[in-house]
Amino acid sequence: MKVLFVCLGNICRSPAAQGVFEKYVDEADLKGDFLVDSAGTAAYHVGEMADGRMIQHANERGYDLTSVARRFASSDLDDFDLILTMDNSNYENVLKLAKTDIQKDRVKKMTDFCRVHEIEEVPDPYHEGDEGFRLVLDILEDSCSELLKSIQSQEPKDAETK
Strands 2-7 and 107-109: unpaired
Which residue in 51, 76, 87, 124 is the catalytic one?
124
Which of 13, 37, 87, 106 is flagged as catalytic?
13
| 12 counts as catalytic | no
Give the residue ranges of DSSP H helices in 28-100.
Answer: 52-60, 76-79, 88-97
Residues 6 or more apart whose Cβ sits within 8 Å of residue 27: none
Looking at residue 3, the DSSP 8-state letter turns out to be E
Closest residue by Cα to residue 85 from 13, 138, 146: 13
Cα separation, 108 vs 160, whole angstroms: 24
Is 13 an annotated catalytic residue?
Answer: yes
In sign, the C-alpha dihedral spanning 107, 36, 147, 162 is: positive
Rounded-to-integer distance, Cα 117 and Cα 20, Å: 16
144 is catalytic: no
Calpha distance 13→124 (Å, rounded)? 7
Q: List residues with catalytic annotation.
A: 7, 13, 124
